[in-house]
Copies of this chain bind each other. A is one copy, B any other.
Amino acid sequence: MKKTYSEENYLKAIYHISKNENKVSLKAIADSLENNPASVIDMLRKLKEKQLITYDKTQGAILTASGETVALDIIRKHRLWEVFLVEKLHYDWAEVHPIAEQLEHIHDDQLAKRLDDFLGNPAFDPHGDPIPANGKMPVYANKRLSELEISQSGKVGSVRDTSTPFLKYLKQLNLGLGSKIEVLDKLDFDQSMIIAIDGSEPRTVSSKMTDNILLITE
């Protein structure tokens, strides 16, 4: 079934929001697309009818399997085109986003594959974000905890410091590979953070600690 430019953008937005928040609210979508909530609800109804998402006000929007397939396809094309623009056309990585926003909507059965091959099957786009393939977003421990903003979250993918004291400290925090960390607050003066580990009560951790935790955020 053919998707419109606009439908594709909604699906993409829902995908991205769902990676940073546990609920994809109407308002979050409206903010992200800079559309009016009244417009958003219309589109959500339409996407629901097409079985690309489920939606109700308490659960928020959730991509169905086919909705996620579409979203990942668009994100894949976006990131491949960004690689093209930077590697082949020598754009600065900061300029390419708005162009890729247009290019990602070009429809052709073979295009993504051919572009991917031409570019040498890159794993990351110029911003370091992984490029989806085979309908899945590759999972990497790609972000230091210290890079997260307040209210963002991720799963522990690896640690950079493997010294015994550090690992003991982590154990004491009840933190291991796969633990979910949510950033509740950041203290500006020393970059320490207040975090929740697997939803438990808040803990304060130093910047030395947050620099050494690598998270899976996609």
Contacts and interface: CB of A to CB of B under 8 A. Distances in A.
A108 interface: yes
Number of this chain's copies in the assembly equals 2
A90 B110 CA distance: 11
A107 interface: yes
A152 to B, nearest CB: 31
Given A118-B88, A118-B89, A106 B102 contact: yes
A93 interface: no
Contact of A115 (B89, B102, B107): B89
Nearest to A114: B89
A124 B14 CA distance: 43
B110 A91 contact: yes
Given A90-B114, A91-B114, 4 more contacts: A88-B118, A89-B111, A89-B115, A102-B106
Interface of A: 88-91, 98-99, 102-103, 105-108, 110-111, 114-115, 118
